[in-house]
Amino acid sequence: MHKITNEIYDILYKKFGEAKCELDFKNNYELIVAVILSARCTDKRVNIITKDLFKKYPDVNSLANAKTEELEKMIYSCGFYKNKAKNLINMANDVVNKYNGEVPSEFEDLTTLAGVGRKTANVVMAVGFSKQAIAVDTHVFRVSNRLEIAKSKNPLECEKTLQKNVEKEKWGQFHHFLVLFGRYVCKSQNPMCDGCELSSFCKYKKEKN
Ligand code: SF4
């Protein structure tokens, strides 16, 4: 593992302990729905929405048969609701028709599902199936660039660089650490640099001062 990345991992481990996904879910069907809804939306908001959503659509079959307008109304507050509703219904139909109603566990299969890109597939693999994957969302991308542990122009480049710099058995945890750190400390606007445990590694802060 890259030396500085390793030190950062250890500091974040001390800060967050065994970190986990902040989305509420009971099975992989609920997980994939929650991750699709979470695009450009907070986990907190998604958890409010899915509380009722999973009562109305408790499994992939019920979601596959959902009426678009009814689903749109339920997920309206998470933004991009029209696209997300269409993707959720299509994803559910894909799972029913192509995968016997079971959310697949392989990256190549997951990314054939409607609305499922690299990030969603990696989260489902890591969180739902305990496989090693690094999902690059907006927090992971921003923090990796600020700390220069994966200087990158796009999420795919960031993912590949992190995969090189981090031991495989730590990929899942490192993803959660960077998400939490980006969400609560190294925020997009007004990062909390005073008192930041990683400031000694941070080129972004040095350049800003
Ligand atoms: S010093 Fe500031 S910009 Fe750098 S990692 Fe910490 S919070 Fe982010």
Give the ligand 1 atom nearest the CA of 191: 7
Vertex 12, ends 7 and 15: CA angle to 5°? 135
Alpha helices (H) in 118-170, listed in sequence order: 118-123, 129, 138-146, 155-165
Q: Cα of 11 to ligand 1 centre, how many Å? A: 13
Chain-wide mean pLDDT for the chain? 94
Q: Which residues are designated catalytic? A: 119, 137
- The tokens describing 10, both together, are 């250890």
Domains and their CATH numbers in the chain? 3-19+134-204 (1.10.1670.10), 28-129 (1.10.340.30)
pLDDT reported for residue 207 = 77
pTM above the 0.85 mark? yes
Return all residues near 138 (Cβ < 8 A) that are at least 6 apart: 182, 188
Return all residues near 155 (Cβ < 8 A) that are at least 6 apart: 118, 119, 136, 137, 141
Q: How far is Cα 188 from Cα 133, in angstroms, rounded to an integer?
A: 24
pLDDT reported for residue 1 = 63
pLDDT reported for residue 205 = 77
pLDDT reported for residue 4 = 87
pLDDT reported for residue 203 = 81
Best mutation site among 5, 7, 204 for ligand 1 pocket (most ligand atoms within 8 Å of CB): 204
**Using a 6 Å cutoff on CB, does residue 172 contact ligand 1?**
no
By the 10 Å C-beta count (0-12 exposed, 13-18 middle, 19+ buried), 156 is classed as exposed
The answer to whether residues 64 and 93 touch, using CB atoms and an 8 Å cutoff, is yes
Q: Cα of 158 to ligand 1 centre, how many Å? A: 18
pLDDT reported for residue 19 = 85
Reading the chain (209 residues) residue by residue, the pLDDT tens digits are: 688 898 999 999 999 998 889 999 999 999 999 999 999 899 999 999 999 999 999 999 999 999 999 999 999 999 999 999 999 999 999 999 999 999 999 999 999 999 999 999 999 999 999 999 999 999 999 999 999 999 999 999 999 999 999 999 999 999 999 999 999 999 999 999 999 999 999 988 777 76
pLDDT reported for residue 10 = 94
**Using a 6 Å cutoff on CB, does residue 204 contact ligand 1?**
yes
Q: Cα of 182 to ligand 1 centre, how many Å? A: 9
Element (H, E) at 179: helix 171-184
Alpha helices (H) in 18-148, listed in sequence order: 28-37, 43-56, 60-64, 68-75, 81-98, 107-110, 118-123, 129, 138-146
**Using a 6 Å cutoff on CB, does residue 74 contact ligand 1?**
no
**Using a 6 Å cutoff on CB, does residue 146 contact ligand 1?**
yes
